[in-house]
Amino acid sequence: MAGKSASTPPNPLIITGKAPDTPLNVQLHPLALLTISDYITRHTLRSQQGPVVGAIIGEQSGRDFTLEHAFECKLEEHHGDVLVDSGWFTERLEQYRDVHKAPPLDLVAMFALGPVEGPQEVHLPVLKQVQQLTGNDSIMLLLFHGELVDQLQGGKLPISLYESVQEQEGAQLRFRELSFEVETGEAEMIGVDTVAKAGSTAVAVQKADTAQSGESSKKAAGKGKGKAKDKDTKIDEDGDLAGVLSPEDDELIASLTAKTNAIRMLNQRINLIRSYLNTMPSSYLTDASSTTPPPDTTNHSLLRSVNSLLSRVPLLAPQTVSVVLPNGQEGHSQPPPSGIHAAGEKERQDVHLTSLLAALSRSVAEAQSMGSKFQILTREKENKARNTYGSGGGRGGGRGFADEGLMGDVSGSGVS
């Protein structure tokens, strides 16, 4: 590796010699690199104390590993050794496992800052602790070499990857350097391209080292208010460069940059399809006079995909209709609604119809409930009135019968 000298004494923690019969096949993804570099950059610019330690999750299939995502770790000091917060680390790792279930990702490596010579004694406590927490003895170690950032050229990365090896029970943990490949997808390519272009136009904002230097800088800025150069380098009360974009402006620029990159990639794909179709001979499907059959090397599945793509274009971009105005000039009328707009309007009408049907059903249910309650009240009133009338008639009838009996007795007595 660049930066290693022949006079440098060998690192006792690194295993040298014959490589294993079945070496590990490691694929490093750019998203992990972006997270690591962002963490180290923030840690350096903010002058934060303590080491830089983080975890990398990926997928393992036998001897094949992928390093896909990374996150920084919360540290604590224990008996002079810097370790990770075990409770926090276990909870955060479980959260990442819940998020990345398909395909399932798990902890595969730890990253930290380190020299070119390789792992040091300070890296061992953290690695051993993580191995005990996860029960995985094959966790790798990725070292970021900050001193090589400005020296490497030709696309080389200032990182080294090591495999942890426990040769004997109770022996000291040692490492074997691994080779790796950088694997990326289309989404990661867009992200890396955006970061690279944004980094090419970035401006480093440095704070004044002391209050005196900040005061002198403000005085120098105040003397040259009439000059454009001094306006660009004006320093505010905190010692920072004035005129830095606000968070809203940064968000707007990032959004516009992402849209620009998407449009540029779309234009490239369209040009690629057009150039491919231009190389194809004329087809008998579009030219009736053509008698030349398509060549045997024609990719019919690709042509069907292109045809399917073209059939969906009118749904997104309707064509304008040319009309002749009364004054004889040619103009463009309002374009007819496209298929996607018609589908959206139909969907909107269905939603309104569904809400109206729900309201109508609710009204019918309330009316039915009201009718049932009214019927129950009417029946109760009728029963109460009937019971009242029946009770009064019964009492009157009883008295009549008693009087009748009494009169019978009297008349009987008189006859006798």
Higher pLDDT, 146 or 71: 71
Q: Is the pLDDT confidence value at 154 over 80?
A: no
pLDDT at 308: 86
Q: CB-hemisphere CA count at 13 Å for 79?
A: 2
Q: Is the pLDDT confidence value at 279 over 70?
A: yes
- Strands of 174-178's sheet in order across: 174-178, 159-165, 140-144, 106-113, 53-61, 64-72, 25-28, 180-182
CA distance 126 to 138: 14
pLDDT per residue as tens digits for the range 204-260: 555 444 444 444 444 444 444 444 444 444 444 444 444 567 878 888 888 888 889
Taken in order 144, 145, 151, 152, the sign of the CA dihedral is: negative
pLDDT per residue as tens digits for the range 293-303: 777 777 888 88
> Are residues 73 and 87 in contact, defined by beta-carbon separation less than 8 angstroms?
no
Q: Mean pLDDT, to the nearest integer, of 388-400?
A: 56
Q: Is the pLDDT confidence value at 110 over 90?
A: yes
Residue in 156, 196, 146, 157 with CA at minimum distance from that of residue 39? 146
| Lowest-confidence segment of 8-17, 270-279, 282-291, 331-340 by average pLDDT | 331-340
> Are residues 57 and 106 in contact, defined by beta-carbon separation less than 8 angstroms?
yes
pLDDT at 107: 94
Q: Where are the beta strands (DSSP E) in 252-308?
A: none
Q: Is the pLDDT confidence value at 141 over 60?
A: yes
Backbone angles phi, psi at 161, to 5 degrees: -120, 135
pLDDT per residue as tens digits for the range 46-99: 888 888 999 999 998 888 999 999 999 999 888 888 899 999 999 999 999 999
Q: Is the pLDDT confidence value at 389 over 80?
A: no
pLDDT at 202: 57
Token pair for 100: 């990345």
Q: Is the pLDDT confidence value at 393 over 60?
A: no
Bridge-partner residues for 175, per DSSP? 14, 164
Q: Can you tell me which residue has the tokens 């006798």?
A: 416
By CB atoms closer than 10 A (0-12, 13-18, 19+), residue 134 is middle
Q: Mean pLDDT, to the nearest integer, of 120-139?
A: 90
Q: Is the pLDDT confidence value at 184 over 50?
A: yes
Q: Which helix (H) or strand (E) holds 56?
A: strand 53-61
Token pair for 335: 């374009």
> Are residues 104 and 59 in contact, defined by beta-carbon separation less than 8 angstroms?
yes
The dihedral formed by the CA atoms of 216, 220, 221 and 226, expressed in degrees to the nearest 10: 160
For residue 234, give the DSSP letter: -
> Are residues 108 and 67 in contact, defined by beta-carbon separation less than 8 angstroms?
yes
Q: Domain 25-196: which topology?
A: Cytidine Deaminase; domain 2 (3.40.140)
Using left for φ > 0, alpha for ψ between -120 and 50, and beta otherwise, residue 3 falls in: left
Angle 16-19-25 from CA coordinates, rounded to 5°: 120
Angle 154-159-162 from CA coordinates, rounded to 5°: 135
Q: Mean pLDDT, to the nearest integer, of 324-351?
A: 69
Q: Can you tell me which residue has the tokens 């350097």?
A: 177
> Are residues 131 and 137 in contact, defined by beta-carbon separation less than 8 angstroms?
yes
Whole-angstrom CA distances from 47 to 42, 77, 205, 235, 330 are 8, 19, 14, 21, 68
Q: What percent of the chain has pLDDT over 70?
A: 68
What are the residue ranges of helices labelled H in 4-158?
A: 30-45, 86-99, 123-134
Q: Which helix (H) or strand (E) holds 367?
A: helix 339-415
CA distance 189 to 199: 15
Q: Mean pLDDT, to the nearest integer, of 369-373?
A: 92
Q: Can you tell me which residue has the tokens 């690192």?
A: 11
